[in-house]
Amino acid sequence: MALIQRNRIKLTLEGAKLIIQACEAKSRELGQDMDIAVVDDGGNLLAFCRMDNARITSIDIAINKAFTAAGTRRGTHEYALSASPQGGPVFGIHVSNQGRFMIFGGGLPIIVDGQVIGAVGVSSGTVEQDRIVAQAGVDALLAALAEEKEATS
């Protein structure tokens, strides 16, 4: 039995900024301003960006999508069917965590070397646009880490 964990990977503010920048770029490419949140592995906000024409009502949604993805270690889109009122096995989960649990796409965990180090949440577009933008942020971080690893090898 382990009493502590060592060698944990931690998402830094610089990593969160890189994710935000990639999400912004993808948002512009799609022609949809977004609210973008990045959290650490405990769901604590590291960075947030509200693009000029993003919806004010989507600020909390983006933050809560990131919170949900970090806490569950899953994409928020994975809950859409299982949380449905038509007999989904986790119907009602969306009211847990003081209503912060998001059950539609746009929140993705950030996984590095098998560890969830944080999550990104995006809102203001369609669910598909939100997912595409969130994935762009995750992909940018993973690509930068691969380049960094290659440069030090």
At 64-117, the pLDDT tens digits run: 999 999 999 999 998 776 666 666 666 666 666 677 778 889 999 999 999 999
Pure H helices in 12-111: 13-30, 59-72, 96-99
User: What is the pLDDT at residue 1?
Assistant: 78
What's the rounded mean pLDDT across residues 56-62?
97
Q: What's the pLDDT score for residue 89? A: 61
Q: What would the mean pLDDT of 115-124 be, rounded to a whole number?
A: 97
Q: Give the helix ranges, DSSP H, for 46-126.
A: 59-72, 96-99
Q: Is the pLDDT of residue 25 over 70?
A: yes
Residue 74: in which H helix or E strand, if any? Answer: none
Does residue 3 fall inside a structural domain? no
pTM metric for this prediction: 0.91
Examine residue 131 and state whether it is found in any structural domain, yes or no.
yes
The sign of the CA dihedral 88, 39, 49, 112 is negative
Q: Residue 2 has what pLDDT? A: 81
* Position 38 in a domain: yes
- Which residues touch 71 (CB under 8 Å, ≥6 apart)? 43, 97
Helix axes of 127-152 and 13-30: crossing angle, nearest 10 degrees: 130
Rounded Cα–Cα distance for residues 96 and 87 (Å): 18
Element (H, E) at 48: strand 45-50
Domain-located, residue 42: yes
Instruction: Specify the number of domains making up the chain.
Output: 1
Does 88 map to a domain? yes
CATH number at residue 36: 3.30.450.150
Range of the domain at 94: 24-138
Quick check: is 79 in a domain?
yes
- Would 110 be classed as within a structural domain? yes
Any domain includes 4: no
Residue 95's pLDDT is 65
